A and B are shown apart, each in its own frame.
Chain A
């Protein structure tokens, strides 16, 4: 079953004005909501739990289980927060989804809010993507007008208000507790856990924080059933998901396929590497997941398979790099990103990324010093598992994995600048046009 595409979320992306309520309803939209509203909230939770849907934001925590952690005897209001702060380098699945069919997400939000008995839901959208914010707001207005949002939705007695909130451009706000701080109007920095958001999240009330794709997957499960969902994917990683293929491939883009597909299959679907190039390394799920090489082309891209290969499925942002790419330069760019985005709260991430960048810059310039590789590994060891949140851990992944697979390139950094070994122009996507002309 893992050899074909299974477009569900992306099925209607090609439809004319797919983002409108009209188009969405024509394609069967909001039917799942009607079904779900007739179900008891606990039954919706049980259904999502039984479907085996796991978080699509990276960690892969079972979605239904997260919902069941909400203490329903807590008198405080419950909140649903959708994490749409998609900012991980390479990750580009939620933004096209929200642009193309925002109602899929909104329908999922209403069903999820009904399940956890939240009367208010938030979608926290990355601030830079104003066009997405506008599209979501327009869709929410449409949905409200049609009676899918607001009070007594479709006569069910369920009330859900949806607030589309624009972030202010900080990667850290994709960390769920920093997101909650930001949503509360504070400076986004991760919170101490426990208490966990399920107990004390937004405004110290029980809160579910889910990724866009996780929530958007819910209507399809309600509509088609858990057997249909379980028919796709692998035993522990059920269902379909969006794989975002980018980099030196012939046809980059979103490939919706069952979990467990391999990069080799996806590359075939994407027309292979760009002409004349061969795979050098790739990330399975964004820059925070340890990079893999051609030897991993056949590992199943599900939570377990990628984990077994020493990386993480992450956001399934498959960034593919060919032989023209300098690993050192690439890792330096990523590390510069982490240095820029470190929130500053904890020492290892704040100071460690500052130091890593300077050391990598030296290697990139061919001015590395004896022991720099060991230094990098030791600094990573002092950051990984020592920082306050996962941002610091993520910053070390590209470095340690790159040294693991391409140590000789770092050694070359002791004497030769990366721009000489790998002229930057060659690895650009327009390189072939440049060389052709």
Chain B
């Protein structure tokens, strides 16, 4: 029997060297370096285990997986049973597991009995009961009755290792999976084993809670019910839950998740197992932030504004669609479409087709954030349709990974974990950033210290080889010349580029053509052949040729009155580059149709509000940063919950130009029919940009991004999770603080003409004249200052006056 299709985690790997050994009288060939415990799995023998985890380093602590090795491959056997999770296979090795060896069987049974003597029999009230490796394995490998009649070890229960993660110490079997995960995978060694003997326990340092963006993974890999999450504890039994595989919607990682629901209500989310993407880990945000659609502000019926009372009133779907269609028709093509960055690829495709074929406009832009024409050109020429050019696995094989405008730990936790893994095996991580973040230090990364806005010079100075990968984040759009320098640096070295958006739907929106100068499948708008091809695929005579407006232009022209109506998806006004201007545009617009899940600033002023399904209630696909299509099915089937596709199709039919699809499956088929453009791609024009000005004596340059856990609305309703957020502090060098009369550790205020915002300060290694503040923790910088990354703001000591 040969088992050689063991995943090595990457494509196109070199052929693996096989080693042949005998396990339970079955000869098996496995890749060299395989542990005995996994070689046994390949012949169908499951050796019980607790501390062993395929993604953690072997420790051999629980002693549950003992086997007899009668020949170590050198003709001699081991005198004692060996932990199969720590021993690598050897040619000619003879292994006897519990199946064929009475010694191994007794060793395992005895060990299981030991594990249970101090384990409470509280399975009926334990969250893990029903899905517990200890419970399961004590059924398969243990004995029915315990001989232990004496006193069990007990602890006061439970203790908080963080607001989110609770620990019941008496249930712990001390396998050290959680502590090893925190140290080896997340790099947050804030939990450790303390005390000794049977009093050994997982503990935290009194003043340092388990502060990690990845803490929830420890709950999932805990083989007993010792670690539980504050929001799921005592809420459900595993056997009452219905599990559905899905894809995480909080970042662009496309992480596989499992959503467990009971009677129409999501109870928890777990990491899915996808070695190519998120391995077995997800961020706490992807795990815990799932209640945002059920906290009371969900829009449940269509709403139409009563012209007399000027109030939104519930309406039937036909009436609302008719009203929306009427309003849009009145605008006569002068409609701006803002779908937002969180749609599924299918929904985005529906917006794209709706704009082009029904509204007959290219005024569509998914970017509800700082953006630039240079970025749009970069996306059209270098990102659209470049599927899997750079993958998660590639990050581990790169010589160097350069991060620019991108802080992985906060903005894409799955990339962070993969980069940390890569850095531990020698991949160099270089960050072009203002300061070395905790995340960068955990990746042993190198800092190319750069004042925000000066990325082009830093990129030009890089010395890269062809095996390097550059990861650019959305903030690079705020830097004139940033993408040009990125492309130049990569092209010169023959290195590869990947663009990592923050939002889950952005990459899919590009593929769907939700940009003013890009059509679906990477078709350049100004290419007549591409337009003709698309028109044919869509069955329309033509698609409009006139270059559309960007998000900024749509709002500007709405204020000027040249855009009359707006069709808005999931857009948060405070995310926009100019929230004040956007608000003015909303008041100025003649007609606004809002497709939203929850009440928002847009629905407040909209003329027609059409409720759409949250991700959990619809099927779809996210295209992740790799360009990997991540398809998922609906978790909850709510007949009244409609996708954006269904609503846009209804609107299109009202307007007399049907989309040709109404369901997600039909939209997906239509996308497939349109396909990727096989003609000439958009070119990336080379243009020179002026360098950003240095900070002046009166202002500082703002560095900012969103912390993973912040005030984003997707995290609403999860108090325990939000309590684990990192504190909102302003970071600057000591000299900067001194120059602006700010006491280090004291309060500082950032201000612009728009307003001001205050934070406690923390001295950090930033260049002088630069400050960093979180974009949306406690206050939205865009809302308060109208400023963002690389902008100039005023710094002063003390609280805002």
B199 CB, min distance to chain A CBs, angstroms: 7
* Chain A: number of interface residues, binned into ranges: 20 to 34
Determine if B107 is an interface residue (Cβ-Cβ < 8 Å): yes
A280 CB, min distance to chain B CBs, angstroms: 29
In B112-157, which residues have CB < 8 Å from any A CB?
113-115, 117-118, 147-148, 150-151, 153
In B180-201, which residues have CB < 8 Å from any A CB?
192-200
A353-B197 in contact given A346-B62, A347-B62 (Cβ < 8 Å):
yes
Partner of B115, one of A351, A358, A381, A386: A351
- Considering residues B61, B174, B192, which has the most beta carbons from chain A within 10 angstroms of its beta carbon? B61
Bound CA span A143–B665, Å: 84
Determine if A2 is an interface residue (Cβ-Cβ < 8 Å): no
A-contact 0/1 string along B198-209, CB 8 Å cutoff: 111000000000
Give the A-B contact count at a CB cut-off of 8 A. Answer: 99
A-contact 0/1 string along B48-61, CB 8 Å cutoff: 00000000001111
Determine if A131 is an interface residue (Cβ-Cβ < 8 Å): no
A348→B153 contact, CB < 8 A: no
A385→B114 contact, CB < 8 A: no
Determine if B639 is an interface residue (Cβ-Cβ < 8 Å): no
Q: A165 to chain B: which residues have CB within 8 Å? A: none
B59→A354 contact, CB < 8 A: no
The residue of chain A having its C-beta at the shortest distance from the C-beta of B79 within the complex is: A385
B66→A386 contact, CB < 8 A: yes
The residue of chain A having its C-beta at the shortest distance from the C-beta of B62 within the complex is: A347
Determine if B218 is an interface residue (Cβ-Cβ < 8 Å): no
A350→B174 contact, CB < 8 A: yes
Determine if A344 is an interface residue (Cβ-Cβ < 8 Å): yes
Determine if B111 is an interface residue (Cβ-Cβ < 8 Å): yes
Q: A388 to chain B: which residues have CB within 8 Å? A: 60-61, 63
Q: A344 to chain B: which residues have CB within 8 Å? A: 174, 193, 195-200
A interface, by DSSP: helix, strand, loop or mixed?
A: helix
B117→A192 contact, CB < 8 A: no
Determine if A132 is an interface residue (Cβ-Cβ < 8 Å): no
Bound CA span A379–B174, Å: 20
Q: A345 to chain B: which residues have CB within 8 Å? A: 61, 174, 200
Bound CA span A341–B198, Å: 10
Q: B58 to chain A: which residues have CB within 8 Å? A: 192
- Considering residues A339, A341, A348, which has the most beta carbons from chain B within 10 angstroms of its beta carbon? A348
Determine if A342 is an interface residue (Cβ-Cβ < 8 Å): yes
Bound CA span A72–B330, Å: 87
B794 CB, min distance to chain A CBs, angstroms: 46
A176 CB, min distance to chain B CBs, angstroms: 17
Determine if B252 is an interface residue (Cβ-Cβ < 8 Å): no
A348→B111 contact, CB < 8 A: yes
Bound CA span A340–B199, Å: 9
Q: B197 to chain A: which residues have CB within 8 Å? A: 339-344, 350, 353-354
A350→B198 contact, CB < 8 A: yes
Determine if B81 is an interface residue (Cβ-Cβ < 8 Å): yes
A192→B198 contact, CB < 8 A: no
Bound CA span A352–B58, Å: 23
Q: A172 to chain B: which residues have CB within 8 Å? A: 196
A385-B80 in contact given A348-B110, A355-B150 (Cβ < 8 Å):
yes
A347-B200 in contact given A192-B58, A192-B86 (Cβ < 8 Å):
no
Q: Which A positions have Cβ atoms within 8 angstroms of B?
A: 170, 172, 187, 192, 339-348, 350-355, 358-359, 362, 375, 378-379, 381-382, 385-388
Which 4 residue pairs of A and B lie closest in terms of their CB atoms, listed nearest first?
A344-B200, A382-B110, A385-B80, A351-B114
Q: Which B positions have Cβ atoms within 8 angstroms of A?
A: 58-64, 66, 79-81, 86, 106-107, 110-111, 113-115, 117-118, 147-148, 150-151, 153, 173-174, 192-200
User: Could you list 13 A-B pairs, sorted by A, with CB under 8 Å?
Assistant: A347-B61, A347-B174, A348-B63, A348-B111, A350-B198, A352-B114, A353-B197, A355-B117, A355-B148, A358-B151, A378-B110, A386-B107, A387-B63
